[in-house]
Structure 1
Amino acid sequence: MQALVVPNSTCHSLTELEWQERPMPTISADDVLIKPQAVGLNPVDYKVFTGPHPDWQYPHTLGLDVAGIIEAVGANVHNFRPSQRVCGHGNLGVDGCFAEYVSFPANALADIPTTVSVTTAAASLCAGLTAYQALYRKANLNAVRTVLIHAGAGGVGSMAIQLAKQAGKTVYTTVSKQKQAFVAKLHPDAQIDYRTEDVDTRLTALTNHQGVDLVVNTIGHPEADLARLAYNGQLVCVLDTPVFPAEQAITVSNLDLGGAHRSGNPAQVADLGQMAFELLALVAKGQVDPQISTVLTRDQLIAGLRQLQADQVVGKLVVTMD
C-alpha cells in the first residue's frame, strides 16, 4: 500500500517526506483495519517530526485524524463491524493514517452519523476534540459566564467558540484583523485584534474590571492570562502551563489529547471515542461545524501541510484519500 512517510530520523522538513510502498498493517485483537476515505490535517502533523521521535520506527507513516470504512476487526472487537463508517484521533507514537490502510484501536473510534460526511468527520477530530476536552473535561462550566478563547480563527479556537456559545457562555476571542470576517460567522461576543489592541485593556473594559472566568490558551506563553482571570477563574492550556502564585484562587489545567493513547489507561483511550461520539452528535444536529476551508486530494496533502506551516489557513483542511 502507499503511505506518506518520514523516511528516516534525520528528516525534519516537509520537502523530505515521501510517498512509499509500505506493508499492509497488521491488527491486534483489540484493533480494527480502516481504509481511510478522508483525513484531517493539523499543525502537529508537521511539528512532530522536527526532531526524531523516540517511539518511531522508520519509515514512519504520518497522520492522526482518520475517517473511513472498517475492512476487518480484531478478535476482541464486538462493537464495530466491517463496512461501518468510523473516525478517530490516533496515537502519534505509531504509524498513522496518511495511507491506504491503517490499524486503529477500536475503543478510540466513533461511529459516523448517517447525516455526517467522512470529510466533516475527519475535520472534527483533533481540533474539535481538543476544544471539546478543554470545555467539557478540563473546565468546570458550572460557574463560568465569560470565556476568552485565543486564536479564534484556528481549528481549535473556531470549534471552542461554537461549543462555548452552545453552552450559553459569553465568548471573547483574540484574532488578527484579516481573519475577523471568518470568525464573525461564529458569533463571538467580541473579537480582540491582538496585533493592534492591548488585550488586557480590552478585557478589563469588557468584564468591568472583573476578568474572565475561563481562558482557553492555544498559543503558549500563558503567564499573561493569569492576570486576565476573574477570582476563582480557570485556565486550560493546550501548550505550556504557567507557574503561578499559590495565593491566586485559580485552576490551571494542561491538555494533551493524544497523550491518552500513551497513558496506559484504557478508560482514557475510550474517552477519545466517547468525546468523538458526543461531538459528532452536535455536528449532526448542526449545532457546531468544523469550518472546512478546503478539501484537497491525496496528491495535495504535502501542499496542505505547507499551508498550515505558513499560517495560511483559517478553519480546517481535509484530504480525500480515494
Structure 2
Amino acid sequence: MKALLLHDKGLWKEMKVEEIQTPQPGEGELLIEVHAVGLNPVDYKTATNGNPNWTYPHVLGLDVAGVVAETGDGVTRWKKGDRVVYHGNLLKKGGYAEYTIAQAHAVSRIPQEVSFEDAAAIPTAGYTAYQALYRKLPFDQIESIVIHGGAGGVGGFGVQLAKLAGKTVISTASSSNHEYVKSLGADYVIDYTNEDVVARVMEITGGHGVDAVVDAVSRQSSTASLDMLGYMGHIVYISGPPEFTKIPGFTKVPSYHEIALGAAYQHGGLKAEKDLAVMGDAMLSLMAEGKLTSMLKEVIQLEEVPAALERLAERHVKGKIVAKVK
C-alpha cells in the first residue's frame, strides 16, 4: 500500500509517499480503508522529537475516516463496508496511508449526511473541545465562558458547542478572523494582538469575570487567563498548566482541569477508549443535524501534507485541513 513515511524523528518535512506492507487486523481490531485524514499540530509536534514506542518508518495521522475493509477476531459490531471515523492511538502507526488499523471499540459510525472529509476534521480538535466542556467542567453550572483561539480547531469546536448549550461565549482571534469566529457562535471576539484581553473580559462581565476558560494556546496564556476568572471559576488547559500560585489560596478558589485526549489510550483503559467513540457519536449526530460545522477549509492530497503541516506550525491556519486519500 501507499503511505506517507516518516523515516526518523525530526524529518517530517521530508516525508514522501512510498510503498509499505498493508497491516492486518488482530483481535478486536479493524482494517480501515482510509478515505480522509485530518491534520493536527500534534502530528508535527510528536514527529519532531519522535517517540520511543515507534519503529521506523512510522506513519503519522490520528484522525481517520474511511471504510471497514476487514474485521479481526472477536469483532461483532462492525462489518465490511461500514463508514467509520476515529481518533487513533499516538503510539501506533496512523492514517496517512491507504490502510490502517483501528480499535473496534473506539470508532464511530459516520452518518450518510456527513462526508469522509468532514468527519476526518473532527476527532482530535473536536473531541478535545467536547471533553473540556462535557467531561471536565460542571457545564450545567456555567453561564459565561472564554474560549481562546476561536479560529482554530479546538477553539472553533468549543465556541460552537458552548453556544449550542446556550452559554455566553467570549473568544479571542486576530481582527481578520472576528467575523468568522462570530459566525461559529461567539457573542464577543477580542483581538489578542492589540487589545488587553483581561480588561475586555472584565468589562464584558461587569467586573465579575467568567465562570470558565478553555485555553489551548500555551502555559503563558493559561496563566494570564487566571485574571479573568470569577469567583469559583474553572480553567481547562490543553497546552500546559497555568502558574497555580498566581492566585492566592482562599480567595477566588478556582478549579483546574487538564486535558490530554491521547491519554485515553496510554492511561485511561477500556472505558476511556470507548468514550472516544461516545464523543464522536455525539458530534457526528450534531453535524448530521446541521447544528455543527466541521470548519473544513481545505482538502489536500497525501503528498501535500508536509507543506500543510509547516503552515500549521506557523499557527495562522483558520479552520481545518484534511488530506483526501481515496
Structure 2 length-normalised TM: 0.95
Deviation at 1:264, TM superposition (A): 5.3
Superposition deviation, residue 52 in structure 1: 2.5
Which structure carries more helix by proportion? 2
CA distance in 1: counterparts of 2:213 and 2:268, whole angstroms = 29
Partner of 1:227: 227
Contact 1:33/1:104, CA 8 A, preserved across alignment: yes
**Residue matched to 2:70:** 72
Partner of 1:310 in structure 2? 314
**Which of 115, 124, 127 in structure 1 is aligned with 2:125?**
127
Letter in 2 for 1:210: H
Partner of 2:90: 92
What secondary structure is seen at the aligned counterpart in 2 of 1:48?
helix
Q: Deviations over 1:147-187 (max 9, x none)?
A: 00001100111110000000000000011112223212113
Aligned residue in 2 for 1:118:
116
Aligned to 2:257, the other structure's residue is in SS state strand
Gaps of 5+ in 2: none
What is the aligned-residue identity percentage?
39
Equivalenced residues, count: 320
Equivalent-residue separation in structure 2 for 1:284 and 1:230 (angstroms)? 36
Distance in 1 of aligned mates of 2:23 and 2:268 = 22
100-109 or 292-301, larger mean C-alpha shift = 292-301
**Residue of structure 1 equivalent to 2:296:** 292
Give yes or no for contact 2:4–2:302 (8 Å, CA) kept in 1: no
Gaps of 5+ in 1: none
CA distance in structure 1 between the aligned counterparts of 2:253 and 2:141, rounded to whole angstroms: 14
Q: Which residue of 1 aligns with 2:280?
A: 276
Match of 2:29 in 1: 31
Tell me the SS of whatever aligns to 1:203. Answer: helix
Partner of 1:152: 150
Q: 1:114 and 1:138 mapped to 2: Cα distance?
A: 31
User: What CA distance in whole angstroms lies between the structure 1 residues aligned with 2:235 and 2:160?
Assistant: 18
Specify the alignment match of 1:55 in structure 2. 53
Distance 1:16 1:118 in 2: 27
Distance in 1 (alpha carbons) for counterparts of 2:228 and 2:199: 10
CA distance in 1, matches of 2:179, 2:198: 22
Whichever residue aligns with residue 65 of structure 1, its letter is D
Q: Where in structure 2 are the equivalents of 1:137-148 lying within 5 Å?
A: 137-148=135-146
- Aligned partner of 1:271: which letter? D
Give the superposed CA RMSD.
1.2
User: Could you tell me how far apart the structure 2 residues matched to 1:143 and 1:312 are?
Assistant: 33
Farther-moved stretch of structure 1 (213-222 vs 306-315) = 306-315
- Runs of 4+ residues deviating >4 angstroms: none
Distance 2:229 2:178 in 1: 24
Measured after TM superposition, the shift of residue 320 of structure 1 is 0.8
